[in-house]
Amino acid sequence: MTVPMRVMISTDEIQAKVKQLGEQINQFYANSDKDLVLIGLLRGSVIFMADLCRTIEKPHELDFMTVSSYGGGTVSSRDVKILKDLDGNIQGKDVLVVEDIIDSGNTLSKVVEMLQTRNPNSIELCTLVSKPSRREIELDVKFLGFEVEDRFIVGYGLDYDQKYRHIPFIGEIGL
């Protein structure tokens, strides 16, 4: 089944933004003597995190969590479930949580709350896309890619029912 789609953020715009975010992250962590861990929230962050980590000059670890609040729908259920926890220890480390999209903020808020109990040196947030009009919980996002209107978008890791992640741009789909 083909779904009608309109390009919102082109591949070139995404790649330029990833490079810019990498430069900001390099500058931010330049003087830190702590180990850096990038934590990707599966599955949506994988493509963004893979590109982003190659722009970060400081040696770093990669780890992942699987969290869910959408199921097969297009709107967050607000019922956040941790399906896969971290494999490594983050105590005393600088943590950069890498997310594909921040919508209501509920999912990421719960993740940050859980990570804080593990005594990292710091926790910062990096997201490719933010929908500020949907925000229910305010978050301090240190590294922000794009702000978009309240549209249902897919591509570059963002999905609808596990489909369309492979698209190299971000597009709005008509459902």
The answer to whether residue 96 sits within a structural domain is no
Within 10 Å of residue 69's Cβ, how many Cβ atoms?
18
143 contacts 125 by C-beta, under 8 angstroms: yes
Residue 70: the pLDDT is 56
For 31-45, 63-77, 143-157, which range has the lowest pLDDT when averaged over its residues? 63-77
- Each residue of 20-42: pLDDT tens digit? 999 999 999 999 999 999 999 99
Q: To the nearest whole percent, how much of the chain has pLDDT over 70?
A: 91
Given the residues 51, 94, 100, 103, select the one marked as catalytic: 103
- The residue range of the domain holding 132 is 5-26+35-91+106-148+157-163+167-173
Helix (H) or strand (E) holding 66: strand 60-68
**pTM score, whole prediction:** 0.91
Domains: count for the chain: 1
Q: Which residue has the higher pLDDT, 69 or 109?
A: 109
Decide if 94 is catalytic: no
DSSP label at residue 137: S
pLDDT band at 75 (very low <50, low <70, confident <90, very high): low
* Residue 99 covered by a domain: no
140 assigned to some structural domain: yes
CATH code of the domain containing 116: 3.40.50.2020
CA gap 152, 158 in Å, rounded = 10
Tell me if 18 is assigned to some domain.
yes
Residue 112 lies in a domain: yes
| Cα 85 to chain centroid, rounded | 16
* Structural domain includes residue 56: yes
Residue 126: exposed, middle, or buried by beta-carbon count in 10 A (0-12, 13-18, 19+)? Answer: buried
Q: Is residue 132 in a domain?
A: yes
